Structure 1
Amino acid sequence: MEQKKILIITYYWPPAGGPGVQRWLKFAKYLPDFGWKPIIYTPENPSYPLIDETLMKDVPENIEMVRTKIWEPYQLAEKLNKSNKKFKAGQFDVGKNQSWKSKLSIWIRGNFFIPDARVFWVKPSIQFLEKYLKENKIDTIVTSGPPHSLHLIGLGLKDKLPNLKWIADFRDPWTEISYYKHLKLTRSSDNKHRKLESAVFKNADITLATSYTDAENFRKAGANAFCITNGFDESDSGEKVIGQKNQNFTLSYIGVLEQLRNPENLWKSLHDLIQENDDFASNFKLKFVGRIDDKILHSLENSNLKNHILNLGYLSHGKAVEEMQNSEMLLITNFPNESSKGIIPGKIFEYLASGKQILSFGPNQADVAKILVETQAGKHFSYHETETIKTFILEKFDLWKSGNLQENTQQIEQFSRKNLTQQLTEIL
């Protein structure tokens, strides 16, 4: 039987690194198993914040790639202020860390590039793809954002080709994402963002969310929304070393840690434990794999945690998974505000597959907390707790010391990439 074609419009594709690339890379890997032929449309000359050549191994061998050139203003922004490099990864300085240059750059980014700085790819892509879709008899497309400007490509194509089936995939929300309120938007810019978002919700045949709460919020805003979470790929999990105890009791953070998700109460709890418990102090390591904000790192290196820090920097995806295995506990952080309770960071699923205990921070009643309760894989805390955190960490430390810290991977099969791809094809 001939496979049905689906065009996936994505900014992130290998050799891009980081979590944004993996969702549709993995869907593309497994879609042919369920009767669909993925075709990838992506920029020819993108400006990626992270590069990971090892992800090329996951690209299906004969996948059809379509590329066109993109113009992005990031080089100009970086000339104005070096810290603007963070924009590419959706980060920037906040609060007391903002210089006047940062404030100006954020104001320009929020008000001149709506919805984001990849917006200059929208019109040329609509023009190119209208012809391409007709010639290749493709009637199903996916747009994956952020960058949310890619959804405007879907909106434009839907307008020109009304019979086109369009799936708008939101890896993160648009106006509900935590940094939105930090963009220094004028009232008219805010209105423009909200109108465009509403048009996407109302015109896409299907809107996909990566969390239960986001799907519910999108439905309230008029979208035909479904939740398909991110997941783990069993082929990425690496060799598990059973029964081998690490030399140190290691708490690891894997990924990008920016100022808006900085768990200061955890650093305070660890500071206290090192002061109060010599045994803990002589065995504890705090490991970072990825990119930690320089201001957070500076603060930690000027505390009593400085001799316990192991900062490995950005590693390939495979090496990062290995470092998860060489840990006792894994740290995950979310934005503290209520509106972020629906964010499920993609790395939690690889954390689950590792079997390690997970220490999570974010708002109360977060979707992450539901997953941790269901899988019994760890504990979720708010940013106001300290004593309960210390108790939890010490409890795991004592189990580790006695060789009784158990690994746990129960009820995680629902989050395997292959099962999630099957869910996607059922919706399609």
Structure 2
Amino acid sequence: MQKVLIIAYYWPPAGGPGVQRWLKFVKYFRDFGIEPIVYIPENPMYPMTDDSFVQDVPKDLTVIKKPIFEPYAYANILSKNKTKTISSGIINTKKQSLPEKALLWIRGNFFIPDARKFWVKPSVSFLSSYLTEHSIDTIITSGPPHSLHLIGLQLQEKIGVKWLADFRDPWTSIGYHSKLKLTKESQRKHKKLESEVLKKATTITVTSFTTRNEFLKITDRPIEVITNGFDDENVNEVKLSSKFTLSHIGSLLSGRNPEVLWRVLNELRAEQEGFKDDLEIVLAGKVSREVIQTIKENGLEKFLKLEGYISHEKALSLQRESQVVLLIEIDSEETKGIIPGKLFEYLVSERPILAVGPKDWDAAVIINETNTGVAFNYTEKENLKYQIIKWYQDYKKGTLCVNSNQIDQYSRKSLTCKMASLIQSM
């Protein structure tokens, strides 16, 4: 077994998609000759938790925990709700209060690359000795938070380890980066750190094709696309909803607001016979007030069901009982490389995926390749309307389903095999 140290911030009981990627790799690594050791913060501030993920942690796994200084704990004094919202990635862009503006400016310009930067120095000090004493010569850093990549950078410079830098999301090109009110000097610092990491990591992995192409302009290091995926979950049998239910699981940020979809649904409730009696819109997860307001403005409030944050187990059930599952992304050039982790769970839900996102979206490629739904950009109103009518008619006949193909390549076990082979070849 090859020993590998994985440096991560998100780990059970953290909730949300960020924790699942390396939790699932760790779950299956031993099947492919990798002995994982996990290094995580002892006192992290997670914006959400989900105890159901704990059951996937191997019982005899070595997990090392060291304290982290969390500035968000002090920011809570200023505004607890705003701090939690910003730390989870929801940034209100239209009506920002003074506390929101202050928190964003401080977050963007005082904490580079992010608020977990204070964990870098003590981690490098501790891990330099630990890696040498335990004969571990390979490390993995998972970001965001991208400050963890600086731990890898300094360990490589200090003791010469092989280092895989894994990017679950881009760094300076991620959608919210431009909203952090960065000064020009702060922007230069981010770019410099990003370049150093990309040019010095032994190997780089990313979760999308667009991110790979962006990084290839910065570095000549090898870059492999290893997407997120789905696991073989034990989900209790669920009954398909009697309503024409369109469900979205996960955060709907201020910018991730599919106004074209709400307009189409508003029109259909007036035009399509029976539609207003059957429609139900279910949103599970954090939803910005701007999204809710747009839904109300389109006369859809009485069809809306807000679930709030739900456990991963409940999310899997909701996907399978919904008539249609929604995949929504911000309409911008910066987001076409974002492939939401929930897409892969949608693939095995056996429900059609209705995706609305940017033009040339990487997620649309996977949906088309697997025949699991249809993807639209924000200008395709009439095509979107036609598709919903078609699915509604199938729903009324009891024949709404999908005939997927080629989804096995996105199973967590297949992806772990690919990741293990990459590590062993470093």
Task: Report the TM-score, using the length of structure 1 for normalisation.
Answer: 0.96
CA contact (8 A) 1:84 1:92 kept: no
Pair 1:89 & 2:125 matched = no
> CA–CA distance in 2 between the matches of 1:70 and 1:78?
16
> CA–CA distance in 1 between the matches of 2:270 and 2:101?
38
Which residue, 205, 210, 213 being the options, matches 2:210? 213
**Residue of structure 2 equivalent to 1:284:** 279
- 2:292 partner SS: helix
Letter in 2 for 1:374: E
Letter in 1 for 2:179: H
> CA–CA distance in 2 between the matches of 1:181 and 1:313?
27
**Residue of structure 2 equivalent to 1:423:** 418
CA contact (8 A) 2:243 2:280 kept: yes
Pair 1:28 & 2:26 matched = yes
Letter in 1 for 2:135: K
CA contact (8 A) 1:83 1:92 kept: no
- 2:348 partner SS: helix
Pair 1:173 & 2:146 matched = no
For structure 2, which runs of at least 5 residues remain unmatched after alignment? none
1:165 to partner: Cα distance: 0.8
- 1:282 partner SS: helix
1:91 to partner: Cα distance: 2.2
Residue by residue over 1:111-158, the C-alpha shift from the partner in whole angstroms, topping out at 9 and shown as x without a partner, is: 000000011111010101101101111111110000000000101101
More divergent stretch after superposition (19-28 vs 326-335): 326-335
1:381 to partner: Cα distance: 1.2
1:302 to partner: Cα distance: 5.1
1:319 to partner: Cα distance: 0.8
**Residue of structure 2 equivalent to 1:321:** 316
> CA–CA distance in 2 between the matches of 1:216 and 1:314?
34
CA contact (8 A) 2:263 2:298 kept: no
- 2:307 partner SS: strand
**Residue of structure 2 equivalent to 1:149:** 147
Pair 1:342 & 2:337 matched = yes
For structure 1, which runs of at least 5 residues remain unmatched after alignment? none
Pair 1:357 & 2:352 matched = yes
> CA–CA distance in 2 between the matches of 1:10 and 1:172?
14
1:161 to partner: Cα distance: 1.2
> CA–CA distance in 2 between the matches of 1:335 and 1:305?
21
1:382 to partner: Cα distance: 1.2
1:251 to partner: Cα distance: 0.3
Pair 1:398 & 2:360 matched = no
1:12 to partner: Cα distance: 0.2
> CA–CA distance in 2 between the matches of 1:399 and 1:176?
40
The residue correspondences of 1:206-355 to structure 2 (distance < 5 A) are 206-222=203-219, 223-236=221-234, 238-240=235-237, 245-301=240-296, 303-355=298-350
CA contact (8 A) 1:245 1:403 kept: no
1:245–1:73: structure 2 CA closer, same or farther, 3 Å change rule?
A: closer
**Residue of structure 1 equivalent to 2:98:** 100
CA contact (8 A) 1:15 1:52 kept: yes
**Residue of structure 2 equivalent to 1:137:** 135
> CA–CA distance in 1 between the matches of 2:83 and 2:257?
19
1:240 to partner: Cα distance: 4.9
1:239 to partner: Cα distance: 4.2
Aligned residues: 421
> CA–CA distance in 1 between the matches of 2:294 and 2:233?
37
Residue by residue over 1:291-320, the C-alpha shift from the partner in whole angstroms, topping out at 9 and shown as x without a partner, is: 212332244245421111111111110111
- 1:45 partner SS: coil
Letter in 2 for 1:364: K
Which residue, 44, 47, 50 being the options, matches 2:48? 50
Pair 1:110 & 2:129 matched = no
> CA–CA distance in 1 between the matches of 2:226 and 2:361?
16
Letter in 2 for 1:90: G
CA contact (8 A) 1:171 1:210 kept: yes
> CA–CA distance in 2 between the matches of 1:131 and 1:408?
53
- 1:384 partner SS: coil
CA contact (8 A) 2:240 2:320 kept: no
TM-align CA RMSD? 1.3
- 1:235 partner SS: coil
> CA–CA distance in 2 between the matches of 1:201 and 1:375?
32
- 2:224 partner SS: strand
More divergent stretch after superposition (295-304 vs 327-336): 295-304
Identical counterparts, % of pairs: 47
Which residue, 117, 120, 124 being the options, matches 1:119? 117
1:383 to partner: Cα distance: 1.7
More divergent stretch after superposition (288-297 vs 60-69): 288-297
Residue by residue over 1:366-423, the C-alpha shift from the partner in whole angstroms, topping out at 9 and shown as x without a partner, is: 1111111111111111122322211111100100111111233321000000000001
> CA–CA distance in 1 between the matches of 2:210 and 2:244?
34
Q: Flag as ranges the 4+ runs of structure 1 deviating above 4 A.
A: none
> CA–CA distance in 2 between the matches of 1:326 and 1:389?
22
Residue by residue over 1:1-24, the C-alpha shift from the partner in whole angstroms, topping out at 9 and shown as x without a partner, is: xx1111110000000000000000
Letter in 1 for 2:226: I
- 1:50 partner SS: coil
